[in-house]
Amino acid sequence: MKAVIHVGLKPGVLDPQGRAIARSLNNLGFDEVTGAKQGRVIELDLKETRAALAESRVREMCEQLLANTVIESYRIRIEA
């Protein structure tokens, strides 16, 4: 199985990288961009074959290491 985790800042947390991306795109002539959010994607290959258990274990990984849950939120997708 594979787990795909999307980690990003929670609403209300300042995102200077996102602002820099939006500003740079505007400077390059992409005036339609009014904002940007920057995050990261983590892909894990798992031995587990049961989706529910895999998701539970990945959630533990996110809470303990992969996301700073004070300022970040995450979404998990389990793929067969």
Domain regions of the chain by residue span: 2-79
Location of structure tokens 């983590």: 42
Location of structure tokens 């303990």: 64
Whole-angstrom Cα distance, residue 58 to residue 63?
Answer: 9
Q: Please report, in tens digits, the pLDDT of each residue of the chain (80 residues total).
A: 999 999 999 999 999 999 999 999 999 999 999 999 999 999 999 999 999 999 999 999 999 999 999 999 999 999 99
Q: Does domain 2-79 have CATH number 3.30.1280.10?
A: yes
